[in-house]
Amino acid sequence: MKNLLGLLAFITLTSCMSFSDRSLRPIRDAITAQLPEIHLEKEFAISIGSGVFNFLDIITLNEADLSELDTVHVAIYEVSSTGRGFDFSKLDLEQTLLAKDPNLHWDTVVRVRKPDERVWVLAGIDLDRNSLAAIAVVVLNASELVLIHVDGDLSELLEYAMAPARGHTGVLKSG
């Protein structure tokens, strides 16, 4: 029986995973269109489908309610530049993410600017449903681009994450 359950879990998990960057290629292509002086070569990619999250919900007895996630895509690209460098400020990531999810309204919620690196966290909002439908994280420096894209009903997942703070006023007590 254990072998059968293990085999079933293995089949479920592997059928819901991919090591392709196909889903993130529109974002990659939009970035290279805005920064023609760079070339991106895939180093690593993984896409995890909802079956994995449903399986994790079963294992955790629905404690984390991960079934609200549809997919998580991660890709890492090696950056090579044709010149001395490139101008991070040329990137319009809100427009870039429309290449992947044209039905969402994208807003930058976090932007970190260091001299040699930029980090963006963007929220994809479904205006028709008034809900958070995607989160994207983009990290770019002179040698590497990291893309993380999460799809699903993130409003419910956010409510779950914030539940322990419900009723607290935000005042910290010192011990």
pLDDT score of 144: 94
AA letter at 12 = T
d(CA 91, CA 117): 13
Identify whether the C-beta of residue 126 lies closer than 8 Å to the C-beta of residue 103. Answer: yes
CA distance 156 to 167: 18
Contacts of 140 (CB under 8 A, 6+ apart): 31, 79, 88, 91, 117, 118, 119, 146
pLDDT in tens, the chain (175 residues): 566 555 445 545 454 566 788 889 999 999 999 988 889 999 999 888 765 555 555 555 556 565 667 788 999 999 998 766 677 777 899 999 998 889 999 999 999 988 888 999 999 999 998 889 999 999 999 899 999 999 987 777 677 666 776 776 666 555 5
pLDDT tens digits, one per residue of 37-71: 889 999 999 888 765 555 555 555 556 565 667 78
Predicted TM-score (pTM) of this structure: 0.77
Q: Whose structure tokens read 């079934």?
A: 67
